[in-house]
Structure 1
């Protein structure tokens, strides 16, 4: 916890934003775990700041679904149920389809070249069975697509939804055969966008997210059967 703000205080953002981003990152990467209580005084002391930016950050995290406030008990890191995850994926599949459709109409040649380069990196990660790097490259791939939509509000909403389930992504990507499926789905999506085929791009983007959801749910159900115990 003491390194949450390491290297972050040098930028010129307001302190409340820096604290918010640090706490959100800690939740996403599992440093702050689901169900863990967020104590304002303790966090402020560990981060070397006053309670005010911590309090403001926790409120914003609650609005974005990362934190739940329990009356007379305080703030806790949100623990996603399988229904919560399904709800997020349901929204994401529709928004990803919209982003793909807009990208078909608005993407630049430079962005298409960038997608092609990222496809090569996805293929390399798949061949090397490098799950950790693949998750990073997959994020970059989707970021290019979102940017190509030229709709900042859409990008903001999708990123928020994606971040809420970021901690579960390796579960989906790590299931047998999913890395290779992801590569093929990405290739098909780039082809459809290159051809400016809006209908096909929408369908592939939606199926890509639905496939990721199905893989994740299979893994979670298996974990529950083996006694891992995520709530339903």
Structure 2
């Protein structure tokens, strides 16, 4: 594959993946391939290549002769994932508390300030949740960078995408309704890293992630979520 085609394939992949992580398609909604082709102004091939790639990564299910949709997971599998993810983030935070430098702390504090401002903004839950998800990803990515452990950071980064996927597919406004608590937890995590307290950083990070899984388990999905829809444009 030449470089231009490779760049196109990566661009389509990133854009479609973001749509899924933003919750544009539910697990019982068939992804409209023809509409994506038109919206992205590309041929059908890179879109289908993206679906196959997302299928291998566990984000999409491909049903032959029917279509593609976000992959459904059992509630128990989701809870098991958050236990594993919590340990990954805890280990990264523990390392970051040992290795973070002044620039890392400045970056974390700046992002936390943006999250604090978002708490006061007059926005709907959907928009607030979308903006918080972007800031939250930047915050946790900065902690992974502060760990100075590329392999661990790369592994946990992929788990972060899966976490966003589960939140999006739940149909719940987890990010928006938990913003104040999450911001306070971020501040506690920054303090532990700044004070060089590895075990405290791990404890806060672990609890922060486990709380998301618990929230998904306890909060009922909003009315209207669910119900298989026909496969359009596949």
Q: Normalising by the residue count of structure 1, what TM-score does the alignment of the two structures yield?
A: 0.78
Aligned residue for 1:76, secondary structure, equals: strand
Contact 1:171 1:216 in 2 (8 A): no
1:157 to 155, 158, 163: 155
Aligned residues: 216
Contact 2:26 2:69 in 1 (8 A): no
Structure 1 Cα separation of the partners of residues 226 and 42 of structure 2: 36
- Measured against aligned partners, the alpha-carbon deviations of 1:73-114 in whole angstroms (never above 9, x if no partner) come to 443222344234223312210110011012112212111012
1:37 partnered with 2:33 = no
Contact 2:82 2:163 in 1 (8 A): no
Structure 2 Cα separation of the partners of residues 160 and 207 of structure 1: 19
Structure 2 Cα separation of the partners of residues 180 and 39 of structure 1: 36
Structure 1 Cα separation of the partners of residues 136 and 154 of structure 2: 17
Q: How does 1:60-71 map to 2 (within 5 A)?
A: 60-71=53-64
Contact 2:100 2:147 in 1 (8 A): yes
- Give how far 1:213 is off: 1.8
Contact 1:172 1:213 in 2 (8 A): no
Q: How does 1:137-176 map to 2 (within 5 A)?
A: 137-166=135-164, 168=167, 171-175=173-177
Q: How does 1:104-183 map to 2 (within 5 A)?
A: 104-128=97-121, 131-132=128-129, 133-166=131-164, 168=167, 171-175=173-177, 178-183=178-183
- Give how far 1:192 is off: 0.9
2:88 alignment partner in structure 1: 95
| Structure 2 CA distance for partners of 1:228 and 1:92, relative to 1, 3 Å | same
- Give how far 1:40 is off: 5.8
More RCO (CA 8 Å, sep 6+) = 2
Q: RMSD in angstroms over aligned alpha carbons?
A: 3.0
- Segments of 5+ residues of structure 2 without an aligned counterpart are 228-234
2:13 to 20, 40, 46: 20
| Structure 2 CA distance for partners of 1:109 and 1:63, relative to 1, 3 Å | same
Structure 1 Cα separation of the partners of residues 118 and 43 of structure 2: 43
Structure 1 Cα separation of the partners of residues 122 and 140 of structure 2: 20
Aligned residue for 2:47, secondary structure, equals: helix
Aligned residue for 1:37, secondary structure, equals: coil
1:83 alignment partner in structure 2: 76
